[in-house]
Amino acid sequence: MILVKGKITINTQVHVPSGSFVLFAASDNIDVAATVGETTPTVCNITTGTGCDLEGYYSTDKSFTLLSKDPTGGGANCGTPDPDLQLNAAGSIVVHANTGGVGGFSYTERDMCNFDSQCPVFSITERPDFVLNAPGFLLFPRRLWQEVAP
């Protein structure tokens, strides 16, 4: 578990082996650099680990943003030989976790140009093993309830 009072910027892929767990939590935004992702349409395969760029649980009190390679921040980098990348996540992303401010999930700055009609710029896949490997204090208490006739 990585708890940050402030902002997290992710500049590289994050891979979590099967049987492990990771949580990144920030009191500010979580930004994913424009250099993180796939250059061609890819599907995240959690069995082999291929095509997955970010794995784990991500929680932010504000916003989770996929940054663009476009230096103006306008999200259209199509006139260059370096369009934006597709980001494939495996796990869970929670935004606006503190419910006291503003926040959201933003991927609109990224543009895959010619690949826009073939795939989404962002995809997320479940990782059920994270639930099984999460620390107990993160889980809801399990209760068994049964009515017994007198």
Band of pLDDT at residue 40, cut at 50, 70 and 90: confident
What is the amino acid identity at position 108?
Answer: T
Average pLDDT over residues 124-141: 83
Mean pLDDT in the chain? 84
In the chain, alpha helices (H)? 128-133
For the chain, give the percent of residues with pLDDT over 70: 89
**Pairwise pLDDT comparison (81 vs 75), residue with the higher score:** 81
Q: What distance in Å separates the CA atoms of residue 39 and residue 25, rounded to the nearest whole number?
A: 28
- Highest averaged pLDDT of the listed ranges 25-39, 59-73, 131-145: 25-39
Q: How confident is the model at residue 148 (pLDDT cuts 50, 70, 90)?
A: confident
- Whole-number pLDDT of residue 32: 94
Q: pLDDT at position 16, please?
A: 92
**Contacts with 125 (C-beta within 8 Å, 6 or more apart), sequence order:** 44, 46, 52, 88, 89, 90
Report domain extents, the chain: 2-138
Predicted local distance difference test score (pLDDT) of residue 15: 93
Tell me: pLDDT of 14 over 70: yes
